[in-house]
Structure 1
């Protein structure tokens, strides 16, 4: 993901709402949102180049993890895959299932939200940090967490308005389109917004997950909507 907002324990009907846009090169292959068929229990889109994911839900446990990259840092191909970090944390298994702060510099620059009842922020820019998130509305984009980011603040404000109005979060998907806010949606034939995704967990544990996909120039390329219980 490249801009994402999280409402944690502040909406009376939806204790967790996560919304965001994934920006990526259009040539990078990806599979649509689905339950993975590898026995992992993960529900996510899939990066077919590196094999990981940018955002997912672990159906048995209810864990949710989403990652953004951080601009300005030259990627090191020798470092561990950020998508694999998301997968390990979702499964609760593997080398990075529960990373410690010293582990975070093994990855290229990233910001990450992880939630499962409680919520945490993990980042390695400007330095490795693992911090608990208080109930509230939080946002990340491609900037280090100690720097202001207007794009993240725009999405945080949109989600906060839904929370304040106790509204249905699905309308947030329209906020992420080029027509609604071109600052949140990147149009391009080489690089641009590839997907808008909503994850909303109801008070009874039911998950509503929607992914809208886009081709070059922002052309719609399909929508997947899934509903499933945790556990």
Structure 2
């Protein structure tokens, strides 16, 4: 339930069918309380086929890839509303969408108010935006670069705009997407990377999927004050 719900990714950008070599690029920072336990990026040992970090308090995830199907899902929370402890877990929504089974594997707009405020990208062939702020909405996304942070989708968000512009530049240059991990931790850009001792950026994650189904997935983890706490880099094929 949401009293155990995680904060989710807090700024994320998606390039969908836009880069010449990587038709899917997803990049984002997860901001969370440092005291909240999480497992590093790995393939889950439960037979689900999910490759993701894991929230050890509620058991869900904020961003993941489903290796058998190639589905990719990422969620952000939305600021402003007090979390309701009786709502469903946003991390469980991500897991059901990734697996393609479970109560929320194919949600309707009417299901979205059952969760605390969120924005979500899901890519499964096509790409969609799911949100329940300011109103419940499920919307297909055109090819191009899209970004979300923890603001309602109709509100201005300089943080999301900054990451979207960085991803657009990589796409326009046909450049390697790993450079975006440096963008997420620029010393002179506190808008993207939060260095708090109690609450701050816990992980920067990149997912890049080639036209042939090769996936490059990198997670850089951080502890209090933005100090590096380890990196996991995986390469695998989907399908």
Provide the TM-score with structure 2 as the length reference: 0.96
Which structure 1 segments of 5+ residues have no match?
Answer: none
Name the SS of the counterpart of 2:167 in structure 1. Answer: helix
Structure 1's consecutive aligned runs of 4 or more residues displaced over 3 angstroms after TM superposition are: none
The within-5 A match list for 1:24-43 is 24-43=32-51
**2:89: which partner in 1?**
81
Aligned residue number for residue 15 of structure 2: 7
**1:179 positional shift:** 1.6
CA contact (8 A) 1:4 1:19 kept: yes
2:117 aligned partner: 109
Give the CA deviation at 1:178. 4.2
After superposition, the Cα gap between the structure-2 partners of 1:126 and 1:175, relative to the gap in structure 1 and judged at 3 Å, is same
Taking the aligned partners of 2:189 and 2:183, their CA distance within structure 1 comes to 6
For structure 2, list consecutive stretches of 5 or more residues without a partner in the other structure.
1-8
Residue correspondences, number: 231
1:180: Cα distance to partner? Answer: 5.1
Shift of 1:117: 1.4
What's the CA shift string for 1:36-95, capped at 9, x where partnerless? 000000000000000000000000000000000000010001100000000000000000
**Equivalent-residue separation in structure 2 for 1:178 and 1:154 (angstroms):** 12
Partner of residue 187, structure 1: 195
Indicate if the aligned counterparts of 1:209 and 1:226 stay in contact, CA closer than 8 A: yes
Aligned equivalent of 1:138: 146
Note the C-alpha offset of 1:181: 2.1
- List aligned pairs for 1:1-231, cutoff 5 A: 1-179=9-187, 181-231=189-239
Q: What value does the CA root-mean-square deviation take over the aligned residues?
A: 0.6
Inter-partner Cα distance in structure 2 for 1:174 and 1:5: 14
CA–CA separation in structure 1 for the residues paired with 2:170 and 2:125: 21
Once residues 219 and 71 of structure 1 are traced to their aligned partners in structure 2, the CA distance between those partners, rounded to angstroms, is 25
Distance (Å, rounded) in 1 between the aligned partners of 2:35 and 2:190? 22
